[in-house]
Amino acid sequence: MSNVSVKPGNPNATHDISLFDGKDTWGIRLDGGFDAVQQLPSDTSTVVFSNAGSKYGDGETGMSHIEQRDWSGGRGQEDFVDDNSRYFDAQNMWTLQPGKVFPSLQWKIADGVRIGNSHLPGNMKWQSLISATRYLSNTFTAGSAYAADKAYMWIRRRGSPGTLTFKLHSDTAGDPGAVLQTVTKTISDVEDVVSLFQVFDWAGTESLTDANVYHVSIYGAAGDSSTNHWEIGVDDSGSAAQYSSDGTTWTAADYTLYYRVVTADDAQKWHMFILEDVLFAVSQPDSGSSVLMEWDESTDTWSEVTIDNGDALSGTVKSVAISGKLAHMARGTANTIWTLQVDGTDRNGQTDTTAGNTADVIHAFYDPVDGPQIWRGENDNDYVSRASTAAFNTDLEFGDDIELEEDVLNIADYNDQIWVRTTSKLYSIKNDRASKLNVGLEVVPEPDDYSPMIAKDYYLYVGWSFSVERLYGGTLDDMGVWR
């Protein structure tokens, strides 16, 4: 809007109020002039201090302001009066400690699990894409041959900038060379002004050659200014970046861009566990065989485990149970249970030779009468059974099958007994007998092959219908975020 002049002491102001978003200015004339702005003696808020009502509403009287000092109840509550330790929503906020609010933990992507190149350490500095630094680039050397599917960079929007352009280049004498891929983003893609780890996903993939040098570059629009521009997250302890005003002549920078170039996403989940003070992770891909990885605390990297003695891991792991110094892995009904042993620096494997020792779900439990037990769920015939623990290189010996009516999704122990979650039911098992808890889970059956279930303190938490149910004794309460 043109011809907007509003400032203190201006006798010829064009409007009563002006609003400026960093790019455009709007003038507002109040109906009735400044007398239209009044403060009423009773401001509505969210806490009742009389019998006027129990919820906030327009025109509700008898309300008062109140401070909030505790957010440990978590997000997802619409009305403050329901629980004064909860709140409606937040982003990247740590509220688990009563009376405290902190920024959430800074996350970092470990190397070794996924093929690609990246630079993602700690502290973040911001570099504007304007003037002499309108163009930024960063060099990297492919650590192996791979099909690059997408890239990520930390970006932040300021005002209303023009188009943001990302490019993947080959190398020409140390500078960005031929353009291999291009992706653009606008403020319609990035609507918020908070920083984000933005994905730049090009069509198809780009084949990168092992040991070849490549560049990622990013630049803003020619019309961007100090008010309206993009900012890029950089590491000021590095020096792998370059800057340019025109994208042609490049100058070495005293920082390194935060970036990540990776292969296509894999449909899989990971089972993480600690065995003999070592952190392991085994994949469960939608197709193909699982991969067993080990975490190196000194380098913050994952590496694939090599089995030193015994049987190698094959097939798809669906569940893991830790019993003493052994990790038992269920591999479905096509493969018998496989066991990992950590013996000093050796990683040893054992495949059960008993043909019937198959499982879709496996769980370790200390029975108050029979001692340590290994429970399994098998979904070809819909049953659970248990075995006493066995030494390494000794097959488990499972007892009689306890038949259920449908597939086993999860097994947990709670209140000194085993609980089994099936497609639409919840069973407790005591003295090798299954007892169904009639709580109505069959109204919304679980279609997948897994449903979360965990015992915590005095409660058993069960995932159901995009929510969480909490069991205490014989009472099941819904704990969904809408409560």
**Is residue 174 in a domain?**
yes
pLDDT value at residue 212: 98
Q: Which pLDDT tens digit goes with each residue over 7-39?
A: 887 888 888 888 887 667 888 888 877 777 776
pLDDT value at residue 64: 60
Q: Indicate which CATH number applies to the domain containing 170.
A: 2.60.120
Whether residue 451 contacts residue 409, with contact meaning beta carbons closer than 8 Å, is answered with yes
Q: Which of 38-42, 172-176, 330-334, 455-459 has the lowest mean pLDDT?
A: 38-42
**Is residue 388 in a domain?**
no
Residue 475 structure tokens: 């009472």
Query: Which residues have a Cβ under 8 Å from the Cβ of 111 and sit 6 or more positions away?
Result: 118, 300, 301, 302
**Is residue 432 in a domain?**
no
Query: Which residues have a Cβ under 8 Å from the Cβ of 45 and sit 6 or more positions away?
Result: 56, 63, 64, 65, 66
The residue with greater pLDDT, 1 or 117, is 117
**Is residue 185 in a domain?**
yes
**Is residue 401 in a domain?**
no
* Mean pLDDT of all residues belonging to the chain: 90
**Is residue 437 in a domain?**
no
pLDDT value at residue 52: 46
pLDDT value at residue 53: 47
Span 56-84, average pLDDT: 75
Supply the pTM of this predicted model: 0.79
Span 97-113, average pLDDT: 86
Q: Is the pLDDT of residue 50 over 70?
A: no
Number of domains in the chain: 1
Dist. CA 210–CA 144, nearest whole Å: 4
The residue with greater pLDDT, 80 or 210, is 210
Span 240-258, average pLDDT: 97
**Is residue 125 in a domain?**
yes
The residue with greater pLDDT, 465 or 282, is 282
Q: Is the pLDDT of residue 2 over 70?
A: no
**Is residue 231 in a domain?**
yes
Q: What burial letters (b/e) apply to 460-474, b meaning 16+ CB within 10 Å? A: bbbbbeeebbebeee
Q: Residue 125 belongs to what domain range?
A: 116-262
